[in-house]
Amino acid sequence: MNDRKRTAAAAVIVLSLLAAGCGSASNDGHAQHASDNQEAANEHSGHPASENGNAGGDSDADSHSGHGSDGDGVDSEKPAADLSQEWRFSPQNPKPGEETNIELFLYDNAGKPIEKYEVNHEKLMHLIIVSEDMAEFMHIHPEYAGEGKFEAAASFAKSGAYKLFADFIPTGSAQTTITSTLKVAGAKETAEPLEKDAELTKSVDGITAALKVSSFKAGEEADLTFTFNDAATKKPITDLQPYLGAIGHVVILNKDLTRYLHVHPKDGNGSGPNADFSTSFPEPGLYKIWGQFQRNGKTFIIPFTVEAE
């Protein structure tokens, strides 16, 4: 494995953890993971492809996040060890709808595979994939194959660039997020414009969700409250099921895909009609929010676009 040629190492996004034990399966319900990612120069990562066609990940510099315990104070954790990453996509430039194998190899600064990881919300790794126009969103969980290798399969709805965010915790280190970019082949499609929602109420799969945000001021703590009602009867929904060990999860990205927030609920495993989260918008601008929840064994996603001031 050490003799394999791979692309240049990417800098690590080092994050502090929100609650003590954020990386454990039983006590990780209060966390927000933020990263400030620099865009890549080429279609995969800003690193030249190696001789075997592999591409490295984006370089994510000057990134950090503070996580308060239940929203109060910051728990300081050991920084994540320096690591290098190697992303492989097969096919390298897939067509829309074509199944694509995604491989991610993680090494320490001595070039050895990072072999141990903490379970975080029931998974060793969360992989968020978003199209450059933010119209397409996926949250999948690569399988760990050992020796620092994670693997997943995905297909992409349309052509264009997609940003990938891998979120994980190496054992003994802090929450870490690294990124890459994948180009899906095909003629350029018309991008859906990202615009602020006039009303923060949407219906999906017979469920109406309303979002209340306590503050849109950048840098200020903002409570996010989702309220669910049955779209037909208008009655409150109280039978939400745990999704990955919590009432729900929220992913937030800014318009340029350079600010990533992975937000977990403030309180434990409620079942509705409300789900409460807390975060902070790093800077002014448009942000897209994806709330992920589960009911009757089916996961549903509620998207909103807001503007921070």
**So what's the pLDDT on residue 190?**
82
In this predicted model, what pLDDT tens digit does every residue of 187-203 receive, in sequence order? 888 887 899 999 999 99
CA 78 to chain centre: 22
Tell me the CATH architecture of domain 13-184.
Sandwich (2.60)
**CATH 2.60.40.10 domain span(s) along the chain:** 201-308
Size (the chain), residues: 309
In this predicted model, what pLDDT tens digit does every residue of 14-69 receive, in sequence order? 333 333 333 333 333 333 444 444 333 333 333 322 333 334 444 342 233 323 22
Strands (E), the chain: 13-14, 32-36, 83-90, 100-108, 125-131, 137-140, 143-146, 149-154, 160-168, 176-184, 201-204, 207-213, 221-230, 249-254, 259-263, 274-280, 285-295, 298-308
CB atoms under 10 Å from CB of 134, counted, come to: 22
pLDDT above 60: residue 8: no
**CATH 2.60.40.1930 domain span(s) along the chain:** 13-184
Which CATH superfamily includes the segment(s) 201-308? Immunoglobulins (2.60.40.10)
| pLDDT greater at residue 79 or residue 249 | 249
Mean pLDDT across the chain, nearest whole number? 79
In this predicted model, what pLDDT tens digit does every residue of 75-128 receive, in sequence order? 223 444 478 999 999 999 999 999 999 999 999 989 999 999 999 989 999 999
